[in-house]
Amino acid sequence: MSLKRKIAYIDLDKEEIKIEPIPIEWRKKFLGGRGLDAYLLYKNAPKGCDPLGPDNVAIISAGLLGGTLASASARCHVMAKSPLTNLLGSANMGGFFAPEMRWAGFDHFVIRGKANRPVYLYVHDGEIEIRDAHNVWGVGVYDTQDIIRKELGDEETQILCIGPAGENLVRYANVMTGRKNAAGRTGMGAVLGSKNLKAIACRGTLDIEISQPEEALEYNKEAIDQVISTKVSQIMQRWGTGFIYGVTNTTGLVRTRNFQYNQLPDSEDIECENLDKYSIGLDGCFGCQVHCRHRYMIKEGEYAGTYAQGPEYTSQGAFGTEVGCRSMNTVLVGNHLVNDYGIDTLEIGSMIAWAMELYEKGIITDKDTDGVKLEWGNDEAVIEMVKKIALRQGLGDILADGPLPAAEKFGPESKKYLIEIKGMSNLHSDERPTPSLALNIAVASRGADHLRGRPAIDLYNLPMKVYDKVYRNPDGYDGPLTNNYSEYEGKPRIVMWQELCYMAVDCLGVCKYHTVFLSPNHLAFKEFAKLIRLNTGLEFSEKDLWDIADRCYTIERLFNLREGMTRGHDWLPDRYFDEPTKLGLPVARGKSIDREKFKTMIDEYYQLHEWDEDGVPTAKLLKRLEISDLWPTQKKKK
């Protein structure tokens, strides 16, 4: 059955592999995927361990529903202590690797130690081999997968790997699969690089027994119809996530020239409609009917003729708005390079934009940049810096360590221009007009983050009856809500709700775009419970799943607190409070976050989570969630 998948503990230093069943008690408490990963990380990574040292563990998993009849059940999760933030490292990606991992017999790999040479893991029908990877060390993401498949003689093998950025220990390097699926954010690629682990190759032919196959198939069709009937899914089937740019840029919700402006005028060339010049069709992940990624050919310059996939909305920001560039070709080249080098598009775009603002203000000069003119809108400079960061050359070597270490090199004046939280840069959105989105990035468990609690539907001005239906369930919340995204009241609740919804989604291994992220009419706790029952036979109520998500999210909080996080980490850069927005529609212009109201939001958010005034989960909460043993003697963090 789906519940019979195993967990493998892999010691690369000793070349020892221990395979064990996953206890049913763990399933009932954590489900799988990100939730069980959080528990495994907490138990297996020693307190205070070096993120790039052998004691850190890299955990790779498929969700509870991966590879089943549940729609879009393709997500793979990667977790470790982060070399970027020294707190929780966590990343999620789609594609085809996670289903293949489950068909090969496994749900979780827990990897520790460091191999004495570059290696990759070959996983096939319950067996794991450690193989030499010297021939792919230094090779890009695309070619690495082709070479390993050729070596194994099986084109159906699915491969997770790192690129040169991970090998070079760039602290925001990704783990990749396919041509664009990225476990980005928090530097999970650097963790694998520190272990000399280049790749994991999976090939499986083991059946996944479905508890009620006919009913599951029928319900999946029902769920698919529900998802693709929505306007947002139909738009994504045509344009991918790039459609978001037109709305946010027009409104004034994107950060431009690092954080100086909130709109990029005359940027029609990077609108999603312009992708038609380059796109040769759309593609999707396992079990998905939305197909939100473009397949494209670069047509100009050094990379003309290159085939790639994407770009996501985030690449339009990283190589467009943040750096003041207006060329779709630059966006496409940048997107291709970060995928092949294996590096986070959000972080690298932010780091380059920050360096450009420092250059503009004279904090760094041509001497620091080796003559690269870091001027706004300099397309060539942006592409050059992508290469220099991935390969740790010149200024790129400093920027490769992430915001806070880089600011230490450039001095205290440079730090105030960083747009980072907990040591991780934000994407290109500007949350000054949107308190709920600002709260989300401030409190998210892995740093400035739009995928851990972002209440995107708060931007839609939906009727209050929709808010009541979504945000008052499944725990019967009876506090305030408001559908005006400029307001502060009630926003802590919707951020918390989205956090627990996304945690449940990541435990199951399904795609957020099929759940309540961009549409209130997509799947949530009620549908999750039915999908679990029909596919696995496990019975959960909506409230059960809410409590499981709460338990898993609380463990992430405990991990961060154990590693030194305090309440002060749940805060925004000063520029959010001190610099009002300058452009955009009236609803977005002249906006900044109110410090006192924001502090009150933090207080309310903590109370909703049942954390104390310092953000520490209360003993009562830990007892209710049955995880008191994880926090028995810890003192509150002041």
On whether both 296 and 157 belong to a single domain, the answer is: no
Cβ–Cβ < 8 Å for 94, 511 = yes
On whether both 484 and 600 belong to a single domain, the answer is: yes
Residue 634, pLDDT above cutoff 60: no
For residue 2, which of 553, 509, 569 has the smallest C-alpha distance? Answer: 509
- Chain CA centroid to CA 207, Å: 30
Position 637 scores a pLDDT of 46
Q: Which strands make up the sheet holding 293-297, listed edge to edge?
A: 279-283, 293-297, 307-309
Residue 493, pLDDT above cutoff 50: yes
On whether both 162 and 184 belong to a single domain, the answer is: yes
On whether both 316 and 408 belong to a single domain, the answer is: yes
In a domain, 79, yes or no: yes
Q: Which two tokens stand for residue 315?
A: 């690449």
The CA–CA distances, whole Å, from 218 to 222, 225, 233, 247 equal 6, 11, 21, 36
Torsion, CA 62, CA 64, CA 65, CA 67, rounded to 10: 40
On whether both 454 and 411 belong to a single domain, the answer is: no
Q: Which two tokens stand for residue 486?
A: 């400029």
Q: Which two tokens stand for residue 587?
A: 């609803």
On whether both 413 and 443 belong to a single domain, the answer is: no
On whether both 605 and 488 belong to a single domain, the answer is: yes
In a domain, 219, yes or no: no
DSSP state of 634: P
Q: Which two tokens stand for residue 527?
A: 């549908």
CATH code, 7: 3.60.9.10
- Residue % of the chain over a pLDDT of 90: 98
Q: Which two tokens stand for residue 371?
A: 């003559």
Q: Which two tokens stand for residue 359?
A: 């250059």
For residue 530, which of 557, 510, 554 has the smallest C-alpha distance? Answer: 510
SS3 25: helix
Q: Which two tokens stand for residue 569?
A: 């980490």
| Cβ atoms within 10 Å of 576's Cβ, excluding its own | 22
Burial class (CB in 10 A: 0-12, 13-18, 19+), 20: exposed
Burial class (CB in 10 A: 0-12, 13-18, 19+), 264: buried
Q: How many domains does the chain have?
A: 3
Position 510 scores a pLDDT of 97
User: Which of 425, 445, 466 corresponds to the end of one domain?
Assistant: 425
Position 4 scores a pLDDT of 87
On whether both 312 and 334 belong to a single domain, the answer is: yes
Q: What DSSP string runs through 373-429?
A: ---TT-HHHHHHHHHHHHTT-THHHHHTT-HHHHHHHH-HHHHTT--EETTEE--SB
Q: Which two tokens stand for residue 452?
A: 């851990």
Q: How confident is the model at residue 526 (pLDDT cuts 50, 70, 90)?
A: very high
Q: Which domain holds residue 343?
A: 241-425
How many CA atoms lie less than 13 Å away from 11 in the CB half-sphere? 8
On whether both 401 and 462 belong to a single domain, the answer is: no
**Taking residues 268-291, what's their average pLDDT?**
94
Assess whether the previous peptide bond of 21 is cis (omega < 30° from 0): no
For residue 237, which of 521, 452, 514 has the smallest C-alpha distance? Answer: 514
Whole-angstrom distance, CA of residue 12 vs CA of residue 197: 8
Position 3 scores a pLDDT of 85
For residue 190, which of 82, 271, 108 has the smallest C-alpha distance? Answer: 82
In a domain, 141, yes or no: yes
Q: How confident is the model at residue 113 (pLDDT cuts 50, 70, 90)?
A: very high
In a domain, 217, yes or no: no
CATH code, 256: 1.10.569.10
User: Which of 377, 405, 425 corresponds to the end of one domain?
Assistant: 425
Residue 501, pLDDT above cutoff 80: yes
Whole-angstrom distance, CA of residue 226 vs CA of residue 515: 10
On whether both 183 and 248 belong to a single domain, the answer is: no
Residue 534, pLDDT above cutoff 50: yes
In a domain, 87, yes or no: yes
* pLDDT tens, residue by residue, 427-449: 999 999 999 999 999 999 999 99
Question: If you search the block for the tokens 């005028």, which residue do you land on?
Answer: 265
Position 1 scores a pLDDT of 56
SS3 353: helix
| Cβ atoms within 10 Å of 618's Cβ, excluding its own | 13
When the pLDDT of each residue in the chain is averaged and rounded to a whole number, the result is 96
On whether both 268 and 184 belong to a single domain, the answer is: no
Q: What DSSP string runs through 201-267?
A: EEE-------SSHHHHHHHHHHHHHHHHTSHHHHHHHHHGGGHHHHHHHHHT-B-BTTTTBS--TT-
Position 6 scores a pLDDT of 97
Q: How confident is the model at residue 638 (pLDDT cuts 50, 70, 90)?
A: very low
For residue 278, which of 299, 293, 248 has the smallest C-alpha distance? Answer: 299
Residue 215, pLDDT above cutoff 80: yes
**Taking residues 392-417, what's their average pLDDT?**
98
User: Which of 203, 223, 254 corresponds to the end of one domain?
Assistant: 203
- Residue % of the chain over a pLDDT of 70: 99
Residue 626, pLDDT above cutoff 70: yes
* pLDDT tens, residue by residue, 331-384: 999 999 999 999 999 999 999 999 999 999 999 999 999 999 999 999 999 999
On whether both 280 and 365 belong to a single domain, the answer is: yes
Q: Model pTM?
A: 0.97
Position 369 scores a pLDDT of 97
* pLDDT tens, residue by residue, 124-164: 999 999 999 999 999 999 999 999 999 999 999 999 999 99
Whole-angstrom distance, CA of residue 38 vs CA of residue 32: 10
Position 632 scores a pLDDT of 78
Residue 636, pLDDT above cutoff 70: no
Q: Bridge partners of 9?
A: 18, 110
CATH code, 566: 1.10.599.10
Burial 518-538 (b: 16+ CB within 10 A, else e): bbbbbbbbebbbbbbbbbbeb
Whole-angstrom distance, CA of residue 321 vs CA of residue 245: 10
Position 126 scores a pLDDT of 97
Position 633 scores a pLDDT of 59
